Structure 1
Amino acid sequence: MFAVIYQGYLRPNQEENYQRAWQIVASYFKEHRGALGSCLHKTKNDLWVAYSRWPDKATRDASWPGEDAPASELPENVKQAIKTIQSCLDPKRKIAEIAMDVVNDLL
């Protein structure tokens, strides 16, 4: 399994928009692009952490538009949801993407 973690702080009053857009994007990649699932968390200090799970890195790389998100091959509602997510994030408090391979999982 391969997981990608996204972290960020939201602009004020954007939690509902962010959660709604995350649901659209996560559902699309699970239903149509091979993701195993996705999970969204909020920490006590208002850091939002989302991670997507994929069967392997190759599936994720072939499915995700990378730096060009939202890419033209995505449906319009998914492109709009990605733009919404991007607009909800506070650029002054940006945190880098983290990717990692599972070495041991006792699921």
Structure 2
Amino acid sequence: MIGILLEFEVKKGFEDKFLKAWDETTEIIYRNFGSLGSRLHREEDGLYVAYAQWPSVEVYESEQHWSDEDLSVREAMRATLVGGKPRSIRRLSVVSDLLKNEQA
């Protein structure tokens, strides 16, 4: 299993649109491309950081075929970002996984 850290610099005033499009884009990736899901975090300065898990490097790097409808969702998210794309900041091998899915 691998983890990917991504950074999203959202244009001022586009936060709500970004969050909606991020949820939809993440669901598409989860449903169609083998992702194990992700979590989105927000830093105090407003920068968003996501952690996504994938079963392997091969699945993460495999060719992804987006439908026209799904591409429009991804492009809606990218339109909210400074620079038009997230920045991949780390590719991590999972050594120990103690993250719990249940909420306390």
TM-score, normalised by the number of residues in structure 1: 0.78
Give the match's secondary structure for 1:53: strand
Q: Write out per-residue CA displacement over residues 21-52 of structure 1, whole angstroms, 9 at most, x where no aligned residue.
A: 11111111212221111111111110101122
What is the alpha-carbon root mean square deviation over aligned residues?
1.9
What residue in structure 2 maps to residue 25 of structure 1?
25
* 2:18 equivalent to 1:12: no
Aligned partner letter, 1:78: D
Aligned partner letter, 1:84: A
Give the match's secondary structure for 2:62: helix
Runs of 4+ deviating beyond 4 Å = none
What residue in structure 2 maps to residue 75 of structure 1?
67
In the comparison of the two structures, how many residue pairs are matched? Answer: 97
| 5+ residue gaps, structure 1 | 65-72
Q: Is the 8 A contact 1:34 1:63 kept in 2?
A: no
Q: Is the 8 A contact 1:6 1:49 kept in 2?
A: yes
Matches within 5 A, 1:49-60: 49-60=49-60
Q: Which has the higher helix share?
A: 1
Q: Write out per-residue CA displacement over residues 33-91 of structure 1, whole angstroms, 9 at most, x where no aligned residue.
A: 21111111111110101122111111111154xxxxxxxx2022321122122221123
| 5+ residue gaps, structure 2 | 100-104
Distance 1:104 1:63 in 2: 28
What residue in structure 1 maps to residue 92 of structure 2?
100
TM-score, normalised by the number of residues in structure 2: 0.79
Give the match's secondary structure for 1:22: helix
Cα deviation for residue 5 of structure 1 reads: 1.4
Q: Is the 8 A contact 2:25 2:77 kept in 1?
A: no
Distance 1:96 1:22 in 2: 14
Cα deviation for residue 95 of structure 1 reads: 7.4
